[in-house]
Amino acid sequence: MWIALGSNLGDSVQIIRQAMDRLEALSTRPLLRSSLWLTSPVDCAPGTPPFVNAVVGLSPRPGETPESLLAALQLIERQFGRPAQYRRHEPRVLDLDLLAFGAVVRSDPTLTLPHPRAHQRRFVLAPLAEIAPDLVLPGQDRTVRELLEQLASDEVVQRLDPVTPPQRP
């Protein structure tokens, strides 16, 4: 299972690291963790602060379903201060997106799998390519690495060095 993390309010680096630690409890094995990436906002209002993004891979607990995992992700978002009701593309303390749940394909009002825009977003593909370059997302015929290499996008993504403070992309 692949989850994208994003934050652009508060101490985003710390928030993403803490969220990764919380996600660890949902996994039966240690998480696969990407680097943190500073990324330009996509489809956001002018003046929106940059995001810190990452991706993790987890091994779901026995009996876990896409819906139960989504509910757990939404609970973690609320615990970090994200309101239950929010507008799409607004700044946020924490955003957790379920990118893929194995080979499950689903499209309903509450959950679409795989994430419908994951293959079009550099801020998703760059960290995902670090930890799963040969992954083929359901419905795609190219690996994550190939999708990233062929992506035409003006998004700016910069891997964060843990020693260097973040700079605006």
Q: Tell me whether residue 87 is in a domain.
A: yes
**Token code pair at residue 91:** 């700044």
Calpha distance 69→23 (Å, rounded): 10
pLDDT at 42 over 90: no
Q: Tell me whether residue 165 is in a domain.
A: no
Calpha distance 31→54 (Å, rounded): 12
Q: Tell me whether residue 166 is in a domain.
A: no
**What pLDDT does 162 receive?**
57
The answer to whether 155 and 148 have CB atoms below 8 angstroms apart is no
Q: Tell me whether residue 90 is in a domain.
A: yes
The answer to whether 23 and 15 have CB atoms below 8 angstroms apart is no
pLDDT (tens digit per residue) in 76-111: 999 999 877 666 667 889 999 999 999 999 998 889
pLDDT (tens digit per residue) in 105-132: 999 888 999 998 999 999 999 999 999 9
Average of per-residue pLDDT across 161-167? 50
The answer to whether 132 and 57 have CB atoms below 8 angstroms apart is yes
- Cα–Cα nearest to 36, from 73, 7, 58, 79: 7
Number of domains in the chain: 1
Q: Tell me whether residue 129 is in a domain.
A: yes
Q: Tell me whether residue 32 is in a domain.
A: yes
Look at the pTM and tell me if it is higher than 0.85: yes
- Other Cβ atoms less than 10 A from the Cβ of 119: the count is 19
Q: Tell me whether residue 167 is in a domain.
A: no
Peptide bond into 114 cis (omega under 30): yes
Question: What is the CATH number for 151?
Answer: 3.30.70.560
Q: Which domain holds residue 64?
A: 2-159
Q: Tell me whether residue 168 is in a domain.
A: no
pLDDT (tens digit per residue) in 133-150: 999 999 999 999 999 999
Active site residues: 82, 92, 95, 97
